[in-house]
Amino acid sequence: MSTPSTIERTDRATLADMVVVDADVHVNDTPGALAPYCEEPWRLSLEALDGASYPYLQVPGFAPNMRLDPPIPGQHANRSVSTAAEMRAELSELQIDVGILFPDHMLLFAAIPNPEYATALAQAYNRWLLEEWLTREPGLYGVVLACPQNPDFAAREIERYANEERVVGVYLPTAGVNPLWGDRRYDPIMAAAEAANLPVCLHSVTLVSPAFPCQLDQFENHFARQVLSHAFAMMANLTSIVHTGVPARFPELRIVFTEAGIAWVPYMMWRMDKYYNEYRRLVPFLEKRPSDYITERMWFATQPIEEPDDLKDLVVTIDLLGGPERILFASDWPHHDFDHPRAIMKLPMPAAAKRRIMGENALELFGIPAPAGKL
Amino acid sequence: MTDHVVGPVEDFPPGTHRLVQLGRIEVGIFNVAGVFHALPNICPHQFGPLCAGTVNGTTACSAETNWTFAWVRQGEIVTCPWHGIEFDIATGQSLSSPRLRVRTYPVRVVDGQVTVTI
């Protein structure tokens, strides 16, 4: 595995001066790791999968996905993090104080068709996350997986974990979720998250699936599928959440969008506002413009941050979607397209704005106490 | 400009590359089919350890290949382990963006010793 060995000294001082909260890092949730936490008979299924040499993020019956491209020499290696101690060490090397943990394979959770199995898997993942990751090292926080295949169970899971100090949000599996988040069948999940004062965090992944908008099979290579997958997932789910009035029906609910960058947001704000003008009578539960809900109660994680030739364009983009208060730094460590904190630190922005993006926003949003010696 | 002797030429056989520390600078020494090259071990994209990556060839597809995929330049391309960006070892130029380029250091063999000028 490759760890970050080259960090320029010039930014150490600056990053060392502020709290760095990473809103999106990933733990390696293998079948074998989850098996001891899973109820029978599904534990037997995970034990049967354990040890099989399946590719990363593509395990039939666990992380179902179609890997359509042949391997080509010269590509960068896959990275994964298997223990809390490893994660703590690697985040510290990246100068990250606090990490919000998301899964690896369970990124594909919504694509699992069997609701009983999905329920057992969600329960096992949440138990494993708390036991193996959230009690062992400082600065590691988690989001409880909400099983879309069984919303009532998911709501009970949220209630079960709501008072755990290190559980600071609800993970909404977004790749292949069908129907999309926002559908009224998920209302128990939104209600439980709102009642527990836990933000819901949408996270997608590249998935080829018949579920809208993941029908990416016509694209002949991963370049195209990667470009479209996360962005389309977030645009579709944001629209779905707005079109059923989730922000109006759950007026305290806070919503986080991860791993799609940020430049898609102003476009969707303007587009939804335009058609809200025209079709307000179809969505009368919305008491204000869609963009108003976005700038009040939605947050956007930076990774994979756009990299325009002129970095000022990115600063303008942040202002267009409501300013630095809306933005959460995220690295996506250890995944292939992770962003080093420098990718944000090098933006031509005032230090106060960087402090908000790099950590202060996330501490407030997730209710995390500032790490000792910081702030 | 200072010459740094980094080791006997036998320690750098063709088709291999190694990291060496020269003062405060970490440098990747590459032997590409008997020709030496040296690059700084910092990717200009997000400052990843470029020279810790693998050396390989790459794909090409153009009018020259009749628009079919070809495997070309075996041994001439280093891939940054962080984000997979490809660089031409001889020139330091990335294959994907005119803005992503690293400098190259002169390397020569003096009395059987690989010598880098920084």
ipTM score for this prediction: 0.86
Give the residue among A227, A236, A228 at the shortest CA–CA distance from A202. Answer: A236
Give per-residue pLDDT as tens, A116-171.
999 999 999 999 999 999 999 999 999 999 999 999 999 999 999 999 999 999 99
Q: What is the C-alpha separation between A151 and A119, in angstroms, rounded?
A: 10
Answer yes or no: are the C-beta atoms of A107 and A171 closer than 8 Å. no
For residue A213, whether the previous peptide bond is cis, meaning omega lies within 30 degrees of 0, is yes
DSSP per residue, A124-153: HHHHHIIIIISSSSTTEEEEEEP-TT-HHH
- Annotate B5-44 with b (16+ C-beta within 10 A) or e (fewer): ebeebeebeeeebeebebeeebbbbbbbeeebbbbbbbbb
Q: Do A2 and B52 touch (CB under 8 A)?
A: yes
The more confident residue out of A73 and A365 is: A365
List all residues 6 or more positions away from A277 whose beta carbon is below 8 Å from its beta carbon: none
Task: Categorize the per-residue pLDDT at A13 as very low, low, confident or very high, splitting at 50, 70 and 90.
Answer: very low
Average pLDDT for A292-316: 98
Percentage of chain A surpassing pLDDT 70? 96
The beta-carbon neighbor of A76 closest among B41, B59, B82 is B82
Amino acid A261 reads G
Q: Which residue of B has its CA nearest to A77?
A: B81
Percentage of chain A surpassing pLDDT 90? 88
Q: Among A50-64, A201-215, A294-308, B57-71, name the one with the lowest average pLDDT.
A: A50-64
> Which chain B residues touch A77 with a CB distance below 8 Å?
81
Look at residue A230 and tell me whether its pLDDT is greater than 50. Answer: yes
Average pLDDT for A354-362: 97
Task: Categorize the per-residue pLDDT at A55 as very low, low, confident or very high, splitting at 50, 70 and 90.
Answer: confident
Answer yes or no: are the C-beta atoms of A96 and A27 closer than 8 Å. no
Domain boundaries B3-53+79-117, CATH class: mainly beta
Distance of CA B98 to the CA centre of its chain: 17
Q: Do B79 and A7 touch (CB under 8 A)?
A: no
Q: What pLDDT score was predicted for residue A1?
A: 37
Unique residue bearing structure tokens 């062992």: A136
CA distance A341 to chain B (A): 9
Average pLDDT for A207-216: 96
Look at residue A5 and tell me whether its pLDDT is greater than 50. Answer: no
> Which chain A residues touch B56 with a CB distance below 8 Å?
73-74
3-state secondary structure of A120: helix
Task: Categorize the per-residue pLDDT at A56 as very low, low, confident or very high, splitting at 50, 70 and 90.
Answer: confident
Look at residue A199 and tell me whether its pLDDT is greater than 50. Answer: yes
Where exactly are the structural domains of chain A?
A: 10-25+82-99+127-366
Average pLDDT for A293-301: 98
Q: What pLDDT score was predicted for residue A6?
A: 41
Element (DSSP H or E) covering residue B81: none
Q: Do A336 and B26 touch (CB under 8 A)?
A: no
Q: What pLDDT score was predicted for residue B112?
A: 96
CA distance A342 to chain B (A): 7
* Strands of A167-173's sheet in order across: A21-27, A98-103, A140-145, A167-173, A200-203, A255-257, A298-301, A327-328
Interface test with B, best of A3, A6, A302 (most B CBs within 10 A): A6
Q: Among A47-61, A140-154, B70-84, name the one with the lowest average pLDDT.
A: A47-61
The more confident residue out of A2 and A92 is: A92
> Which chain B residues touch A2 with a CB distance below 8 Å?
49, 52, 81-82
Task: Categorize the per-residue pLDDT at A331 as very low, low, confident or very high, splitting at 50, 70 and 90.
Answer: very high
Look at residue A76 and tell me whether its pLDDT is greater than 90. Answer: no
Look at residue A2 and tell me whether its pLDDT is greater than 60. Answer: no
Interface test with A, best of B26, B42, B47 (most A CBs within 10 A): B47
Q: What pLDDT score was predicted for residue A8?
A: 39
Q: What pLDDT score was predicted for residue A54?
A: 72
Look at residue B16 and tell me whether its pLDDT is greater than 60. Answer: yes
Q: What pLDDT score was predicted for residue B1?
A: 87
Look at residue A9 and tell me whether its pLDDT is greater than 90. Answer: no
Amino acid A313 reads D
Give domain A10-25+82-99+127-366's CATH number out of 3.50.7.10, 3.20.20.140, 3.40.30.10, 3.90.1150.10.
3.20.20.140
* Strands of B70-79's sheet in order across: B54-60, B70-79, B86-88
Look at residue A279 and tell me whether its pLDDT is greater than 80. Answer: yes
> Which chain B residues touch A341 with a CB distance below 8 Å?
none
The more confident residue out of A73 and A358 is: A358
> Which chain B residues touch A93 with a CB distance below 8 Å?
none
How many A×B Cβ pairs under 8 Å?
Answer: 53
Average pLDDT for B89-107: 97
Give per-residue pLDDT as tens, A181-196.
999 999 999 999 999 9
Amino acid A38 reads C
Bridge partners of B72?
B58
Give the residue among A92, A238, A267, A250 at the shortest CA–CA distance from A174. Answer: A238
Q: Among A42-56, A241-255, B72-86, name the one with the lowest average pLDDT.
A: A42-56
Answer yes or no: are the C-beta atoms of A100 and A366 closer than 8 Å. yes
Q: What pLDDT score was predicted for residue A375?
A: 54
Look at residue A11 and tell me whether its pLDDT is greater than 50. Answer: no
Q: What pLDDT score was predicted for residue A73?
A: 87
C-alpha dihedral sign at A51, A55, A60, A61: positive
Give per-residue pLDDT as tens, A91-116.
999 999 999 999 999 999 999 999 99
CA distance B36 to chain A (A): 20
* Strands of B25-32's sheet in order across: B17-22, B25-32, B35-40
Q: Which residue of A has its CA nearest to B73?
A: A74
Q: What pLDDT score was predicted for residue A192?
A: 98
Q: Please, where are the H alpha helices in chain A?
A: 9-16, 31-34, 42-49, 84-93, 115-128, 151-161, 187-196, 222-243, 246-249, 264-279, 290-297, 312-320, 342-345, 351-355, 361-366
